[in-house]
Amino acid sequence: MTKGKTKTDAHKKAMIEALKKSLGNVTTACKTVGICREQHYKWLKTDEKYKASTESVADIALDFAESRLFRLVDEGNPTAIIFYLKTKGKKRGYIERQEIDTNQKQVIEIKGDFKKSDFKL
């Protein structure tokens, strides 16, 4: 090891590279590097730099999937075209169902003369 670098540092670096190659698959990356999954998750909790590096791997995997999707759209694949329009074309009307935002608060006021006996529990 070079001065200031530990075996752990080398394993972390190797793990980041293995995660990139496996598109974020933790089990595959751990087997490649020769560490257990628990060690990876321990580093995520204790090392912010390591955590940030692993989070960027998710973007690499997403970019890879998007590039494959765009290739299929370009090739005229109907399923890929429909998927893309349903997810990215909603504002243009490419939607099969209505989406309702349930995060809005709504107050319903009920007025009337009710007795406890009017309600069965």
* Two structure tokens written together for 117: 């006996």
Instruction: Give the type of residue at 61.
Output: A
Angstrom CA distances, 66 to 12, 78, 83, 99, stand at: 27, 16, 12, 24
Please list the ranges in the chain whose pLDDT falls under 70.
1-4, 97-99, 116, 118-121
The answer to whether the beta carbons of residues 64 and 23 sit under 8 Å apart is: yes
Q: What is the pLDDT of residue 52?
A: 92
Q: What is the pLDDT of residue 35?
A: 97
pTM here is 0.59
**Dihedral sign, Cα of residue 30, residue 50, residue 25, residue 60:** negative
Q: What is the pLDDT of residue 92?
A: 85
Q: What is the pLDDT of residue 3?
A: 56
